[in-house]
Structure 1
Amino acid sequence: MGFSKKLKAIYDQISFYSTYFNFCREHAGMMKKSAIKSAPAQESGIVEYKWTL
């Protein structure tokens, strides 16, 4: 996350990071269903595949 003086820019950065963390980033600890690394949103059944940016 970066630095910004504007509150809206900070909210946008937090939204972007949390989306990336939950939908795009592979997590080694999330290998309950299969041996393939997956994103938390994928493991919880929100999406069927990992997103890319």
Structure 2
Amino acid sequence: MYDDIKALIESIGEFNSYIGKENIWEFVDFIDKRKSWDKGRYAIYLKSFVNDRG
């Protein structure tokens, strides 16, 4: 993952949650624009959430 995206995600701090049938996911969405792109694009960062039951 790019360092600037890592920093952006860390600065957001609060994640949304999605509860599926077997997993819980935490996610955040944002607009990303790389140097070579003409316009920004919608991006989603997600990670699985693990509770005390694994």
TM-score by length of 1: 0.24
- The answer to which structure has the higher helix fraction is 1
Instruction: Select the structure that is richer in strand.
Output: 2
TM-score by length of 2: 0.23
